[in-house]
Amino acid sequence: MSAEEDEANERRWAEIEFVRSAYGEDEAWVDEKEQTIYRRLLLVSAPDDIGIPVLLSLTMPDGYPIDEGAILVIDARVSDDAVGTSSSSYTAKHHLRKVVMDSLPSMIEACRSSALEYVGSESIFAVLSRADEWISTDFVDIVESSSHINTDEADEVGTKPQCDNGLVLGRRLIHSHHIIAQSKRKAIVELAQQHSIGGYFKIGWPGIIVIEGEERDCMAYVDEIRSMRWQHLVVRGEEQQEVSDREELEQLRVLPNKMHELGDDMSCVAERCKEAGLEELFLTSMKIYSKKESASIDASNQKENTKSSSYSYGALCHVDHMRDGKGYRKWLRKASAASGCVLLVKACDSNAKKPLIVVSILGEESDVKRVLKRWRTSRVDVDSAGKPCLERMMTVLIEGKLSQPQNKNVEMDSLDQEDQLVVSDQTICNILEAIGGSKWKNEFESLLHMR
């Protein structure tokens, strides 16, 4: 056996031992002969107190984790019957099982994407973490969307407007993890043209598609979009309006007759929806389902409003260095945006050998923790040889609920710009005090004194 094979075996066994020490025997186990790790997961519908057990399998091929061509083989299947209270109805259990079956390909794809990020190195922990993250975020969205759109399938008649002529004007807001690939952007436009659908779509993290057209065309369009491979895609909001004839349907349309790409700025989507009188539909992109009279969106400050409303929790971190600074900061911005968090990266170089770098992440507690977890387990920088590597020298200075209301004069989006990266010590102190009060300011000042 070669030295490389010895090393691969040793590193595989180290990961197996990690799994055995991190999980109970009923949570995860190993088939040593097949070199397969099994993880038992429970996909739960909280409102119904029902869970569907799923068995995730990670098989380590020969050469893993050293060989870059040896990627984990990942699969998942429903393992047992639904578990839950005896009062849970058969219909609810059957519905959740169907939701789980339909969404498993999304979980598998998310886990495979995570494995690909770690080609040539250990990836078991990252994949298991991604599976847990998918259950706590993506699957929750899927269940909520299913419950919101199909509140009572048994009483479906009357839940949507019906007309004698069968014509209904429909609208949808579709939320995806991201829209980047040119092939998907092209398909979004071409499918809209085929189905006589119009509207807007935002690329980047997250992806947003807002459509309008005849209800049957909207349904067909959504079905075709869902058939494509997505890390996560869900209908967050929908509207129906009955019409007497096609002429009235065309008169009531408030979105363009063709699909238009808006770039990656969420405020552009907010602006267009406000102009069209679709504020309530837009708010569903943030899982806000409220009466239209209570929805007040000002497109000029949509970013500030949506983000400042989530400034309940924050983390202030110190990063020792960034070898690939631009790529590192780009990763941080994407990871934060994907979790609905606000990011601020600042550096000061006051008479020091190297800049002092601090990173602020603001949002809801679960979202901030998700970004921190991804940060610790992702290849965010490069080593001295230029190879992607994990971050080993990031320190969380302070994390927790923010002790004061957010200063609305702190415009995070305008502050987090590449051309404003390096600023004075006092400027950073002022910004951090406005965000997290004296505690954040004191942590930064302590860091300065240690230099």
Interval 113-145: pLDDT, tens: 888 878 788 889 889 988 988 888 788 878 877
Closest CA to 273 of 262, 349, 264, 422: 262
pLDDT at 1 over 50: yes
CB atoms within 10 A of CB 311: 21
The predicted model gives 227-252 an average pLDDT of: 86
Q: Which stretch of 31-40, 49-58, 139-148 has the lowest confidence by average pLDDT?
A: 139-148
For residues 362 and 148, which has the higher predicted lDDT (pLDDT)? 362
CB atoms within 10 A of CB 407: 15
Q: What six digits make up the tokens of 270?
A: 């907010």
Alpha-carbon span 359 to 368, nearest angstrom: 12
Task: Tell me the residue type at 133.
Answer: E
**Overall pTM surpassing 0.75 (yes/no):** no
What pLDDT, in 10s, does the model give residues 246-291? 889 999 999 999 999 998 888 889 899 999 999 889 988 877 765 4
What pLDDT, in 10s, does the model give residues 17-31? 888 888 888 899 999
Alpha-carbon span 437 to 444, nearest angstrom: 11
- Looking at 71-214, list the stretches that DSSP marks H as alpha helix, in order from N- to C-terminal side: 90-117, 124-136, 138-149, 182-194
DSSP code string of 56-90: EEEE--TTTTTSTT---EEEEEE-S--EE-TTS-H
- C-beta pairs of 62-68 under 8 Å, 24+ apart in sequence: 63/8, 64/8, 64/12, 65/8, 65/11, 65/12, 65/15, 65/118, 65/120, 65/121, 65/122, 65/123, 66/4, 66/7, 66/8, 66/11, 66/120, 67/8, 67/120, 68/119, 68/120
DSSP class of residue 244 equals: S
